[in-house]
Amino acid sequence: MVIEIEVEPPLDELYCNEHVKRLTLAFCKIMLGQIRGKYDGITLPGGGSVSKDIGQEGQQELDKVMENLRAETAFGQEIFFA
């Protein structure tokens, strides 16, 4: 007989989790890049322009964090009782 148990951490622990912080930052950068993309080609006062490159940076960070999460959970955190 095999029983699988999944333990869910309390929300207080998730707020301090480094992966959650990095995922949130990556999603924010992607969203900021999408917002800035709407204003692409507009010249700002003083000759500056709006750059949407931060969205690509966020996507790269998201891919890196997801790869790290998959590598850490590849071994699993399951407990088996026989």
Number of domains comprising the chain: 1
Q: Could you count the other beta carbons within 10 Å of the beta carbon of residue 35?
A: 13
Range of the domain at 56: 11-73
In a domain, 63, yes or no: yes
- Nearest residue to 57 (alpha-carbon basis) of 17, 21, 25, 35: 25
In a domain, 82, yes or no: no
In a domain, 15, yes or no: yes
| Tokens found for residue 48 | 């500056």
Kindly give the confidence (pLDDT) of every residue in the chain, 82 residues in length, as a single tens digit, with 9 standing for 90 and above: 666 666 776 777 666 778 888 999 999 999 999 998 988 888 888 888 888 899 999 999 999 999 988 887 665 555 444 4
Provide the 3-class DSSP secondary structure of residue 43.
strand
In a domain, 68, yes or no: yes
